[in-house]
Structure 1
Amino acid sequence: MAARSHSLLGWSPEAVVFDCDGTLVDSERHWQDARNRAFRDFGLLPPPGFAERAKGVHYVDCGRLMAEETNKPDLADDLTAALLDHFRTLVAEDPVTMPGAVDFVRLLSGRLPLAVASNCPEEVVEESLGRAGLRRHFLHVVVPTKTPGPAPAGEGPAGGDAGRQVVRPKPWPDVYATAAQLCGVPPASALAVEDSMAGVESARRAGLRVLGVGPAPSREDADRTDLWVTALHSEEVLGWARDQVPGPAPRGGGGG
């Protein structure tokens, strides 16, 4: 892992694509609370270990999983709707950013194309970034474009109805591949910043390098990234951003 870390810290990306929940915005706990509230709405108990299995999963898939693991498949749509409603309420009440996220984004803003690749609905991502004061720093927000279901084989974004591109959710590579394309760079020249294994898998399959952030995972999971740090305020990461990214001074202003 050390050799891969040195490789990343000596490299300059041409674009950076961020996950949102748990990477920029401290909303993973909101998803957990929303899942628990949705379970309670229907008199259900969360199965053991469900929080870890649900981390980074598209909310529609999560609602389906909630129904399957409680043997209530007929409640999939209702659980999904309740999950999203509770989450949006919680984010509106407490839009907190992850440690170091604002400084890291500000440092890169104006120097490189920045994008967000998320499994959340677009309006939820826009609300989260807006309330956190981060939306203005990102050129693009990429989310899945259709409800998840059986997907065709292949690693790139799938074909869609009437020529419309279908962007599948993580761990499919589509959101990251599309974000790199919109930023005008090949995936191999872009860096993904992720906190979940589903997101890491998505970025890796798309061909991006990956900076993992959050509580230390297993060695096996950490080795799937190019570098893992516990938070974006790590001086190792901030120093890399200052030293490796050319361009004008970062944008200032309040609410970043």
Structure 2
Amino acid sequence: MSKRRTVLNWSPRAIVFDCDGTLMDTERHWQDARTRAFREFGLVPPPGFAERAKGVHYVDCGRLMAEETHKPELAPDLTTSLLGHFLALVAQEPRTMPGAPEFVRLVAGRLPLAVASNCPLEVVEESLDRARLRQFFRHIVVPTVTPGGARRPAPQGRVGPEVRPKPSPDVYLRAAHLCGVLPVDAVAVEDSVTGIESARRAGLRVLGVGSLPHAKDGTEPDADTWVATLHDEEVLVWARERMPAAP
């Protein structure tokens, strides 16, 4: 599966990875967590909900679950239930996406790597630690505010710029800045419509990976290149030829 090949003819100065569905095979955990949360409140998932929820911040997802089942008053409880079930599932069975560990190890040391995710920091770090990938990333950027505007506690008492969740461009803008490059010199690796919109709005080029999703209007996501997995031979050649190993 492929789309345009513009990214593979270009040399980025940094790579920013999404986590869920890109590095870690956690989308199935989110899907299972949504199913369990719906069941906990005696609700039935609306048709097509899994695709609409992909890549959405969990707070927005809890609200969407409540709205689409006509129970808006349950949004806070569904959000709490969703996150609780997800954390339990990740702890039980962390799993990487096909080709992700090999690709990360191939490009590590060649240029700065970061993660930009809508998940809570503890979820991202725990997942990457269990997959033995955390050491390869200089920076992990997650939202510091929820979709409703509430500010999350800063890790270790640090205070930084306000970072809104995807599809806002904030996580990608912050990740590029921390990597020391302009957004136009970085590439995002993404699997969802929401994440691609975020990266595009930040000015990054986009390598899409996984099953090709579609926006609500049926259009394909605006990735420069799309591949089925990070095992793709053209992607590996791109890394070796366009990202020279450090001397």
What TM-score results when the alignment is normalised by the length of structure 2?
0.91
Alignment of 1:127-206 (within 5 A): 127-149=126-148, 164-206=160-202
Is there any run of 5+ residues in structure 2 with no aligned partner, and where?
A: 151-158
Change (3 A) 1:49 1:241: same
Question: Residue in 1 aligned with 2:102?
Answer: 103
Q: CA deviation at 1:165?
A: 1.9
Q: Distance in 1 between matches of 2:58 and 2:84?
A: 11
2:3–2:227 contact (8 Å) kept in structure 1: no
C-alpha distance after superposition, 1:60-119 (max 9, x if no partner) = 000011111111111111111110111111111111100000010000101110000000
- Equivalences, count: 235
Aligned-pair distance for 1:48? 1.0
Deviations 1:179-226 (A, max 9, x none): 00000000000000000000000000000000000113459414x111
Letter matched to residue 172 of structure 2? Y
Q: Deviations over 1:227-254 (max 9, x none)?
A: 00000001110111011101338xxxxx
Q: Secondary structure at the match of 1:79?
A: helix
Structure 2 residue corresponding to 1:210, chosen from 200, 203, 206: 206
> Which SS does the other structure have where 1:221 is aligned?
coil
| Aligned partners of 2:212 and 2:220 also within 8 Å | no
Map 1:1-256; keep pairs closer than 5 Å: 4-5=4-5, 7-149=6-148, 164-217=160-213, 220-222=219-221, 224-248=222-246
Q: Percent identity?
A: 69
Give the letter for the 2:234 counterpart.
Answer: E
Secondary structure at the counterpart of residue 220 of structure 2: helix
The 8 Å contact of residues 113 and 139 in structure 2, kept in 1 or not, is answered as: yes
> What are the superposed Cα offsets for residues 12-65 of structure 1, whole Å, 9 maximum, x if unpaired?
100000000000000001000000000111111111111111000000000011
Q: CA deviation at 1:164?
A: 5.0
Distance, in Å, in 2 between the alignment partners of 1:81 and 1:134 is 28
Q: Give the alignment's Cα RMSD to 1 decimal.
A: 1.8
Structure 1: 5+ residue runs without aligned partners?
Answer: 152-162, 250-256
Amino acid of the residue matched to residue 162 of structure 2? V
Show the counterpart of 1:156.
Answer: none
- The letter of the residue matching 1:28 is E
CA distance in 2, matches of 1:74, 1:220: 33
Question: Which AA in structure 2 matches 1:165?
Answer: P
Distance 1:227 1:123, change over 3 A: same
